[in-house]
Amino acid sequence: MKPEFTWRVAREALPFFLGLVAIAAAAWAIGWLPVALAALFGALLVLSFFRDPQRRIEAEEGVVLAPADGRVVRIAPSGENGGPVISTFLSIFNVHINRVPVTGRVSAVDRIPGRFRAAFRGEASEVNARVVVRIETSWGPVDCVQITGLVARRIVCRLQPGDEVVAGQRYGLIQFGSRMDVRLPAAATVVVDMGTRTRSGVTPLARLGEPR
């Protein structure tokens, strides 16, 4: 996988970045150089975490694209929509911008309170705080589930019921380190393996089969 470089950064980075820069400036002014340098380093880490690389999206009809950068940590044969569930774990070093995996219409956005267990654990899908976006497609419903983790405590989801969405478009992020589940219809066929490294809007996760 080629490294990505871009100056585009998600707007959610601004409060963290400005706060750390302010701390660095104050520490520098009173001669606390180690603190100033640590704060500047933290500001650079914030920019890295919130980086938002431009990507060339080539969505094929009936193909489910990865909604997140990370590593596939679970492939369950059957979930709430009757088909497989694919879970991707995002470390703090991954790009955290989430992208829509399929083209369709948003029918529901549900915010579910819960715990903050480690996101790579299987139980995180059921017990952690999460946001479920349901997208209606010609093949049936596809759910995107943004899941919090030990450190990730805030989910940003910019979609609303009724929104028309296109595969690969940006729609949110999770701060900091997290997990994304995709719940598919019964006819879907998974095309990735456990441990696969994914890129949001680029890596195919599954094929949906014949339209209903």
- Active site amino acids: 178
Other CB atoms within 10 Å distance of the CB of residue 93: 12
**In this structure, what are the phi and psi dihedrals at residue 200, rounded to the nearest 5 degrees?**
-60, 135
Strands of the sheet containing 63-65, edge to edge, are 63-65, 204-207, 189-190
Strands of the sheet containing 197-198, edge to edge, are 164-165, 104-112, 130-137, 140-147, 178-185, 82-90, 70-76, 197-198
Spatial neighbors of 203 by CB under 8 A, at least 6 apart, are: 65, 66, 192, 196, 197
Q: Which two tokens stand for residue 208?
A: 């949906």
Rg of the chain in Å (alpha carbons)? 18
